[in-house]
Structures are given as C-alpha cells and as structure tokens.
Amino acid sequence: MAVAVAEGSVPIANPRRKSRTAGLYPSWFYLPAAIIFAVLFMLPTFASLFFSLTRWSLQKADFIGLDNFVQFFREPFLFQGLVNTLIYGTVTSASKVVLGLLLALLLTSDIFGRGYLRAVVFFPVLVSTVGVGITFTAMMHPTQGLINETLASIGIKGPGWLTDPRFALYSVALVDVWKGVGLATVIYIAGIVSIPLEYYEAAKIDGATSWQRFWTVTLPLVQPATATVIILSFIGGLRSFDLIWAMTKGGPGFTSDVIASVIYKQYQAGFYGLSTAGNVVLFIMVALLAVPLSMFLNRKEVDR
Amino acid sequence: MLMRKLTRAALVTTGVIAILAGTANAQDKVKVTFLFDNAPSTVAMAEALATAFEAKHPNIDIETESRPGGADGDNLIKTRLATGEMADVFLYNSGSLFQAINPTQNLVDLTSEPFQANVIDSFKSVVTGTDGKVYGAPIGTAMGGGILYNIPIYKELGLTPPKSWAEFMANNEKIKAAGKTAVIQSFGETWTSQLFVLGDFYNVLAADPSFPADYTAGKAKYATTPAAMKGFERQEEIFKGGYLNEDFAAATFPDGVTKVATGEGAHYPMLSFAVANIKELAPENINDVGFFAIPGDDASNNGLTTWMPSGLYIPTTSKHQAEAKEFIAFVASIEGCDVQTASAGAAGPYLVKDCKLPADVPPVVADLLPYFQEGGHSAPALEFLSPIKGPALEQITVEVGSGIRSAADGAALYDEDVKKQAQQLGLPGW
C-alpha cells in the first residue's frame, strides 16, 4: 500500500506527464479520486511518519526525535526478527516458485479431471488464514497432534513442530507454502498456456528431449510469470503476520518472531510510537528489497 | 375464505402490535454494557452478578460481553478506551496494568462513592491514580501466587509441603524417581510461565525491602540484584532438572489445571484463582489439590506473594454513569460477594469488609487463608508496589523455562523491557 503511494505520487510531481494527461478529462473529474487518495493514503502516511518520532499514548504525543528508531534497532529480539523475516520470505517464495511451476506443468498436461484438480490446488488460497493456522496448530501438537500420532504409529518420534525453536519458523513457512502455492500455480498455468505451441513443435522437430524442451522453451518463456510469483510471494513473506500469529505468536519465546509480529507486540503493549516506527522500518525494508528485485527481474525479461 | 383471510389479517396485526409493545417496553430500560475477560470462572461470576442485579433493578438491563485475557486483552482495553468505545463498566487488573491505562484521564472518579466505605484500604491503594483519587472497586478475591500440588501423589510418596527451595527440589527429585511428572508447565499460554519470577517476590522483598522503590526509580535492576535474579535462576533450574511434563511447550492453562487435579503431574506453579477452573474442569478432583507458597532459601521465613483482585471501572465516555455506579456498588457489597461465591467459588479472602467465606472451602483455599490471617506471612506482588511491569516477561520466562535462554540473559533482557514501559509511562529517572 505504501509502495502504491510512492508510485502514485509520481504523476503529480512530474509536470510533463501532468500536462499530457490534463487535457483528457475536466479537472473536477479527478477530484473524487484525489480526495480519497489524500485522505486515505497521503494523510496516514505523513501522520505515521510524524507519530514514529513521538512517544504516543493515542491521546497525547511527546516529540522524542529518532529515539524510537534507536530503541527499535536496540530491541534484542529485533535482529533475530529481521533474520527470521528474510529466512521466511526467501523460503516461502522459493518453495512457491518451484512447487508452483511443477504443479502448473502437471495441471497443464492431459491429466484426468484437470479442471477439478486445478480447483483443488487453489482451494487453500480461499480458506481463512487464521482458520488454517489454528487447524495446523492442532495437527502439529507435539504429543496429541495428528502428524506426530501418525508418525508414532510407524515408530518415528516426531519433533515439536511448533514448540522446538529449531523448527517453529520452518513449520509455519511450510503451512504458508501449502496455503499459497495455489496462487503461484494459477499464475504459472496462465504463463504456460500462453506459450505458442509452435515453439514446442519446432523443438521436437529439432530432436529436443522433453527435458530440453522444458529447460529451453518453457522455463525462459514463463519468465514473466516467475517474476510475478517471486515478487508477490517475497513481499507477502516479508510482511507476513497472520499465519505466524495464529500458529506460534512468535514463540516459543521470541524464536519465530518476524518484524511484523515484533511490531504488533509493541502495539499490544501500548508502545504506539515505537510500533509506528517499526512499521516505517518495515516499509523501508520491503521497498529496499523489493524495488531492486523487481527491477532486476523485469530487466532480465526485456533482455530476452 | 374471506373470513379466514380476515382472521389471518387480524392475527398478523395483533402480532405486529405485540412486537411493537415489546420493543417499547425494552426501550424503557437503561442498557448498561459490562465487559470482562473470558476465563470460564470470570464469565460464570459476571453473568451471575448481572442476573442478580437485574432482578433487583428491573429498570436496568446489563448487557454482558467477554474479551480475551493476557496481552490481547490489554490491547483491546487500551484501544477501546482511546477510541471512546469502552463498555459502561469493565473489569481489568489492578496495580501496574491499571496504571498503564491512564486512569486519571480515562476513568470516572469513584473516591466519594458510598460503597467505598466498605472496601478494604489495601485494595484502594492499587486502584488509585497518580492524582490520589480512587478509580475502582474490587471484584473477586485476593489470590496467592504459588504452587498447586496434587495431594494423592504427596500421600503416596510420603511427602510434605516444602518450606524451603531445597526441600522443594528434594520433593521434585523423589517424584521424578517415582516415574511421575514433578512440575507442570503450560507454555502454550505464555502468561502461565511467569509464576517462578513473579511469585518469588515475597522472598525478594524479604532480602531487599527497598527493591520496589529503587526499581521504580530506575536504580535497582533484576540482573544486578541477586535476590531478584533468583526467580529466573529457579525457572532455569527446574528445566535443567528434567522435571517438566512432555508437552510443556504446547500445553494450555486448562491442560495444566487438569493435569495437577488428576495427578498427571505433582506441581503446577499458578495463581490460586485456578481453584475455580479446577471446579469447572475436574470437579470430582477438587479435594485432591493443595497449595503452598513458592519457597525461598530460608525455611524459617516462608511467606506468600499475594495478588489483589481485578477492579471494576467506569470510563469517562460512559453515558450511563449513574446506573454503572449502582451496579458496581452491588458487586462490592456483601450480597455481591455471596453471588460471586455461589457462582465461581471463593478463591481467597474478599476485599470488601464483612464478606464471609463458606465453611467448606476447597483445600487450595484452606491452605491459602493462613498466609493472609494474623501471624501469617504475605507480601503483595511487585505489580502492586510499582507501576512498571514489562510486557515481554511472559516470552522471556518461556525462553528461560524451556532452556532457550540463560537466566542471566533473561533477567538482563527483562530490564530492557521494563525500561520501555517506564519511558512510556513518563516516569522520572529513566
């Protein structure tokens, strides 16, 4: 949302563009959108920048300069939260790319019940995240959960999926992948079906094996879909909160805390200024990582 | 045919009139909203109080609403107060959490209400704002923070309730040797992890009486005060001893209560209010659970860390303050105490003068009362002597109690956390 603000402000700031489009519609025509934009997007953005510099109790705000940011970066769990956020974003994004592409290949082949199977893959995307979180929390219970009871019946002692500090973050990431891979699959299906069949026929005539056809035709030509999936799932992973909160609340202790859950805890504790500062940090971090990534992926697309 | 149509029309019309009359009647009543936490015992008590009050005051309709407890509850209370959406009467902690909701600005002054004459002074002091005014009235009973123990296991192994930490650890060793779970923890609900630190405060105060004042002024720290560090060290010791239940990291508060009541574990560090939950979850085992204070090093100075009950408060934004005050006056009366005892069972002494406990209290309460009576030793928890309580303590004690972080590291981390809270409260010296 905040990224949209940055991009959206460009036409207003750029007089040349403005003059080009100004003639198309009478200026009152822009007014409703401009008001909505100003009230719902510009104002909160500037207000949050201001409040991040204060000690705020919702009723009164004392200006304290950059103290909140200093405090936020001194927060002992913050560094762990930063690392966890990056791990979470990378793991979920990479898994969704690989699994989404494989599933899309399967579901664009002449498989029986293709329409139904495509729907099945997409269903988890539609389910409430908190519902999924609670269900998996019950299934991942160390002693009474379905997963460990199943493992126990074949003689394996399963780990504490959500309670062992070594696994908690990855267990949540796994559920995130299960829930989100459907969207990646759909994007890949659209990418794959838009590749003209002539390329495959030409490759076949040249004697390419199916592996070569995948590697040299499909993969390069679904590059736009890959870029979309990576950007969407990486940003989604960086700002992920709901699933983590529903499953571990950042626990055990602080071991699966991500930036978003650290921010929420500050808010919960009534440190409103500090949590606003955290949101500014999160926004800057997402922008710093996502904008270059997006530029890199899109340039690659143009090169080809 | 026509006749039937007419009758039907007539029936419909009378029906409509009846409905209209019904609504008109309901509108005459004043609706007072009442918000409380969703612990089963609180819900039972609050609903019973509302029903009893409505029976006496037919013109007032108490609309009850429950909210989550713990940090989610703190968040909800603060947000609703700040946005002017708070219920007419709400239940919330006394002590440091009460100080954190900015009472002087948000709450209605109850200092000169007639019912305050019957409220015991020690409670008034924990719902008094920085301006010296009293903002709340007690609901529920005083509690102790200590250890619930399973009486059948103690009998079977021939143990006696310990008076010193060394005796406690010796008991744990014997219970473990008998193949049983010695200590139950329920980190699935993080707030339950704090007892070894918070419930040890009687011992802290015994060793260092000036700790609360120095701590509030920012001079004394947990990490550098050996007596205060002990709580963290003991939590670590329990984990290292291998005394915990297998599912300690995922078990919830109801699991913990059920385990200690049914003998799946011997000790459960908890506040004594859990007796109401035992009544709810394992009623046939209510007489199998006893209670003792968290012991310190010195067996000759054994005492209990006590918790004041929650308070009832009225937000300044309430439109029915007169009716809300009537309801609070009812709760803080002898009649109100009796309704509370009947619905939730008394978990300790009331803070309203002349409120009596029933003769046949469960063993937890019977074990608890001597600490409060003359000749007994008790001291209030730190949150009633200082306005500062760090919000991350529960995560820190989970980490120390599951071996993720060392006791020394945990105490130092908590000092950082406390600092943030003190700054937010605007206290001098931070």
pTM of the full predicted structure?
Answer: 0.83
Contact A251/B at CB under 8 A: yes
Per-residue pLDDT, A301: 56
Superfamily for A75-303?
Answer: MetI-like (1.10.3720.10)
Q: What is the DSSP annotation of B201-243?
A: HHHHHHH-TTHHHHHHTT---TTT-HHHHHHHHHHHHHHHTT-
Enumerate the β-bridge partners of residue B89: B34
Enumerate the β-bridge partners of residue A199: none
Contact A263/B at CB under 8 A: no
CA nearest neighbour of A52 among A113, A102, A2: A2
Per-residue pLDDT, A302: 53
Interchain proximity B420–A57, CB inside 8 Å: no
- Token digits for A246? 């529903």
Please give the C-alpha separations between residue B2 and each of A51, A99, B233, in angstroms, as whole numbers: 72, 71, 88
Chain B, nearest residue to A72 by Cα: B420
Within 10 angstroms of residue A99's Cβ, the number of other Cβ atoms is 18
Judge if B29-142+309-344 and B143-307+370-425 fold alike in CATH terms: yes
Contact A51/B at CB under 8 A: no
Give A40 to chain B, closest Cα distance, Å.
19
Q: What is the DSSP letter of B295?
A: P
Give B75 to chain A, closest Cα distance, Å.
5
ipTM, 2 dp: 0.80
Query: Among partner residues B74, B250, B413, which is closest to A268 by beta-carbon distance?
Result: B74
Q: From first to last of its 430 residues, what are the pLDDT tens digits of chain B? A: 444 554 455 444 444 444 444 444 555 789 999 999 988 889 999 999 999 999 999 999 999 999 998 778 888 999 999 899 999 999 999 999 999 899 999 999 999 999 999 999 889 989 999 899 999 999 999 999 999 999 999 999 999 999 999 999 999 999 999 999 999 999 999 999 999 999 999 999 999 999 999 999 999 999 999 999 999 999 999 999 999 999 999 999 999 999 999 999 999 999 998 998 898 889 999 999 999 999 999 999 999 999 999 999 999 999 999 999 999 999 999 999 999 999 888 888 999 998 988 888 899 999 999 998 877 789 999 999 998 999 899 999 999 999 999 999 999 999 999 999 999 888 888 8
- Token digits for B361? 């209290």
CA nearest neighbour of A246 among A154, A159, A176: A176
Please give the C-alpha separations between residue B227 and each of B204, B207, B208, B292, in angstroms, as whole numbers: 5, 6, 7, 20
Contact A143/B at CB under 8 A: yes
CA nearest neighbour of B110 among B355, B310, B311, B338: B311
Contact B85/A at CB under 8 A: no
Contact B104/A at CB under 8 A: no
The phi and psi torsions of A133 (rounded to 5 degrees) equal -60, -45
Residue A60's pLDDT band (boundaries 50, 70, 90)? confident
Q: Which amino acid, residue A163?
A: T
Interchain proximity A252–B247, CB inside 8 Å: no
Interchain proximity A254–B399, CB inside 8 Å: yes
Interchain proximity B190–A251, CB inside 8 Å: yes
Q: What's the rounded Cα separation, in Å, for the pair B35 and B92? A: 9
Contact A254/B at CB under 8 A: yes
CA nearest neighbour of A69 among A239, A288, A285, A289: A285
Q: Identify the residue whose tokens are 């405090």.
A: A71
Q: What is the CATH number of domain B143-307+370-425?
A: 3.40.190.10
Give yes or no for a cis peptide into A292 (omega within 30° of 0): no
Within 10 angstroms of residue B151's Cβ, the number of other Cβ atoms is 17
Domain boundaries, chain B: 29-142+309-344, 143-307+370-425
The phi and psi torsions of B306 (rounded to 5 degrees) equal -110, 155
Interchain proximity B187–A255, CB inside 8 Å: no
Per-residue pLDDT, B27: 56
Listed in sequence order, the residues at least 6 apart from B192 whose beta carbon sits closer than 8 Å to its beta carbon are: B185, B186, B253, B256, B270
Chain B, nearest residue to A266 by Cα: B391
pLDDT digit string, tens, across residues A76-97:
778 888 899 999 999 999 999 9
Say whether A59 sits in a helix, a strand or coil.
coil
Q: How far apart are the first and last CA of chain A?
A: 31
A-facing residues of B in 327-386 (CB < 8 A) are none
Half-sphere exposure of A110 (CA within 13 A, CB side): 0
Half-sphere exposure of A168 (CA within 13 A, CB side): 23
Q: SS3 for A71-140, per residue?
A: HHHHCHHHHHHHHHHHHHHHHHHHHHHHHHHHHHHHHHCCCCCHHHHHHHHHHHHHCCHHHHHHHHHHHC
- Token digits for B99? 């100080």
Question: Of the given ranges (A131-135, A279-283, B182-186), which has the lowest mean pLDDT?
Answer: A279-283
Residue A164: its chain B contacts at CB < 8 A?
249
Domain boundaries, chain A: 2-51, 75-303
Q: What's the rounded Cα separation, in Å, for the pair B294 and B301? A: 12
Helices (H) and strands (E) counted in chain A, each on its own, are 17, 2
The answer to whether the Cα torsion of B206, B185, B410, A264 is positive or negative is negative
User: What does pLDDT average to over chain A?
Assistant: 86
Q: How far apart are the first and last CA of chain B?
A: 86
Contact A139/B at CB under 8 A: no
Please give the C-alpha separations between residue B342 and each of B32, B47, B141, B338, B391, in angstroms, as whole numbers: 23, 12, 13, 6, 34
Residue B430: its chain A contacts at CB < 8 A?
none
Interchain proximity A253–B74, CB inside 8 Å: no
Query: Among partner residues B78, B396, B426, which is closest to A270 by beta-carbon distance?
Result: B78
Q: Identify the residue whose tokens are 């699935």.
A: B188
Residue B424: its chain A contacts at CB < 8 A?
55, 57, 270-271
Residue A303's pLDDT band (boundaries 50, 70, 90)? low
Residue B406: its chain A contacts at CB < 8 A?
none
Please give the C-alpha separations between residue B360 and each of B145, B152, B345, B356, B370, in angstroms, as whole numbers: 22, 20, 11, 12, 15
pLDDT digit string, tens, across residues A171-205:
999 999 999 999 999 999 999 999 999 999 999 99
Q: What's the rounded Cα separation, in Å, for the pair B322 and B267? A: 46
Give A8 to chain B, closest Cα distance, Å.
31
Determine which of B67, B78, B425 to mutate to test the interface with A (most A C-beta atoms within 10 Å).
B78
Q: What's the rounded Cα separation, in Å, for the pair A285 and B171? A: 52
Asked if B371 and B293 count as a contact pair (C-beta separation under 8 A), the reply is yes
Q: Which amino acid, residue B326?
A: E
Per-residue pLDDT, B17: 45
Per-residue pLDDT, A13: 44
Q: How many residues are recorded in chain B?
A: 430
Say whether A249 sits in a helix, a strand or coil.
coil
Q: How many residues are recorded in chain A?
A: 304
Per-residue pLDDT, A19: 53
Q: What's the rounded Cα separation, in Å, for the pair B392 and A274? A: 15
Contact A55/B at CB under 8 A: yes
Q: What's the rounded Cα separation, in Å, for the pair B418 and B215? A: 10
Give A163 to chain B, closest Cα distance, Å.
6
Asked if A147 and A140 count as a contact pair (C-beta separation under 8 A), the reply is yes
Q: What's the rounded Cα separation, in Å, for the pair A222 and A191? A: 5
pLDDT digit string, tens, across residues A254-265:
999 999 999 999
Determine which of A249, A256, A267 to mutate to test the interface with B (most B C-beta atoms within 10 Å).
A249
Give B317 to chain A, closest Cα distance, Å.
14
Asked if B390 and B420 count as a contact pair (C-beta separation under 8 A), the reply is yes
Q: Which fold has domain B29-142+309-344?
A: D-Maltodextrin-Binding Protein; domain 2 (3.40.190)
